[in-house]
Amino acid sequence: MVFPTLQFIGFFAVVLALNLIVWNRNGWRKALLIAASYVFYAAWDVRFLALMAFVSATAYLAGIGVTKPGLRKLSKVLAIVAMLGVLGVFKYYDFFMLNLQRLLEGTAFARDLQWLTLILPVGISFYTFQAISYVMDVDRGHIPARKNPADVFLYISLFPQLVAGPIVRAAHFLPQIDAPTRPDTTARAAAVVLILSGLFKKMVVANYLSVLLVDPVFGLPDGQYWLSALAATLGYAIQIYCDFSGYSDIAIGVALLLGYQFHINFDQPYRADSLRDFWQRWHISLSTWIRDYLYIPLGGNRGTPLHSHFTLILTMTLAGLWHGAGWNFILWGFFHGAFLAIERVFRRLRIRLPKLLAIAAVFVIVGLLWIPFRAASFPETLQMFAAFTKSEGYAAPEIIPFVWVLLALGFAMNWLPLALRDRAEMLIARLAPELQAAILAIGVWIMFATAQDGVAPFIYFQF
């Protein structure tokens, strides 16, 4: 089920009402939200419910296991192997087999290897990471192990964040299960603003940019020239920001109405004046996850500068692989790691650019690195880069005036002062609940009327 659909609106309205009815019965609330989350997930593919339940049960049992002195290490290792195993089989198995087969071609070991050709379960990367963070946090003593399995099942499956994040931390979320906050007028106002801004970013800016500009150019990279390549690269930078931050905004807003608070996942990322700053603003829940559970355990900033540079590049390469089983994503992660390492050297040498120039430089680097992220294959990545050197090609009919408006709107969503959003929230918070609901309903109605036909899935669903 996707947020910007009539199906989700009907589903959420029912869950919102039932949640209110059972508000004072915490056990019922948990059961309701777990059931709703499983229905939400089953709307995509009912077969993979068992997989999510398996990951949740593993996390629950491992959480108890790591608190027992004799079982601590075994529980942790088994849980992480099981969860990464699930991820490995469903997401990476065929990729590794394909590359192994290519590697063996022409050698004495060449043979046809077996493929699994499995469907990638939606959101698998997100919920396995949440499950791992639960086990690790219990193991580190940050949170107590939950005795009630419903707590862990709800933490892993809660539908607003289930398929594309934010990756909610157990230490932040589990205490809210015990004492959810009844949404007051401020929370409702924040939810209205978040849901409407998220829908606008996704249904208007991201979807139209995708159809009118990005897909036609990236679909035929060979025949493009510098202007269309530039416009499509710029368009994709805006599209992916609006698509993913739009999803996060809606998820946070929907959770707020159910009584749960998630941390923000995007903080105006294209305002970043360094790549380090960019990663503190972009997909914040993933950045902090890989910092805490990958970069620091691998050595982090400890040891020699060379070692920490290596760790940084390795971590970012693995983060690239997390996004997708393909060399394009590995390349994307590797170059982000390499640029982060170079930036560290510059910082150590006290070489700094003026702020505006630094923001522009970061945007150019991030934008160009989106090319391998978006292109369908490595050869197409090279074709897109080659298009920047061509002065002739398709006449770029996709760059109609509306596209420029969309690009400007996308930039505005990134650059508008946060105070403006706070002001809108304050104004809505002063209104009666009926008016708040009317603003939400009219806003959603207008977004649906403005959007194109059909349902475009969110980019991060594939991860």
Residues that bind another protein (CB under 8 A): 5-7, 9-11, 13, 16-17, 20, 39, 42-43, 46, 182-183, 188, 400-402, 432-434, 436-438, 440-442, 444-446, 448-450, 452
Active site residues: 323
Name the minimum Å distance from CB 191 to another protein.
Answer: 10
Go through 118-148 and write b for each residue having 16 or more CB atoms within 10 A of its CB, e for each that does not: eebbbbbbbbbbbbbbbbbbbbeeebebbee
**Closest listed residue to residue 49, CA positions, set 40, 38, 34:** 38
Q: How far is the CB of 188 from another protein (least distance, A)?
A: 6
Shortest distance (Å) from residue 215 CB to another protein = 16
Q: Which residues contact 315 (CB under 8 A, 6 or more apart)?
A: 290, 294, 295, 298, 337
Closest by Cα among 305, 376, 65, 32 to 180? 32
Q: Whose Cβ is closer to another protein: residue 221's or residue 253's?
A: 253
The smaller minimum CB distance to another protein, of residues 207 and 233, is found at: 207
Distant-in-sequence contacts of 85-94, Cβ < 8 A, 24+ apart: 86/51, 86/54, 86/55, 86/124, 86/128, 87/124, 87/125, 87/128, 89/116, 89/118, 90/51, 90/118, 90/120, 90/121, 90/124, 91/120, 91/124, 91/125, 91/325, 92/321, 92/325, 93/118, 94/118, 94/325
CB nearer another protein, residue 149 or residue 443: 443
Q: How far apart are CB 42 and another protein at their closest, in Å?
A: 4
Q: Between 36 and 321, name the residue whose CB sits nearer to another protein.
A: 36
Minimum distance from CB of 55 to another protein (Å)?
A: 20
Determine contact, residues 235/407, Cβ cutoff 8 Å.
yes
**Nearest distance from residue 374's CB to another protein, in Å?**
24
Choose between 118 and 442: whose C-beta lies nearer to another protein. 442
State in angstroms the smallest separation of the CB of 41 from another protein.
Answer: 9
Cα-based angle 401, 194, 166 (whole degrees, multiple of 5): 105
Q: Is the CB of residue 139 less than 8 Å from the CB of residue 72? A: yes
- To which H or E segment does residue 381 belong? helix 378-387
Whichever of 170 and 195 has its CB closer to another protein, that residue is 195
Dig out the tokens for 189 from the structure: 């106002």
Give 274-293 as a DSSP string.
Answer: SHHHHHTTSSHHHHHHHIII
DSSP state of 113: P
Look up residue 290 and give its two tokens.
């890989």
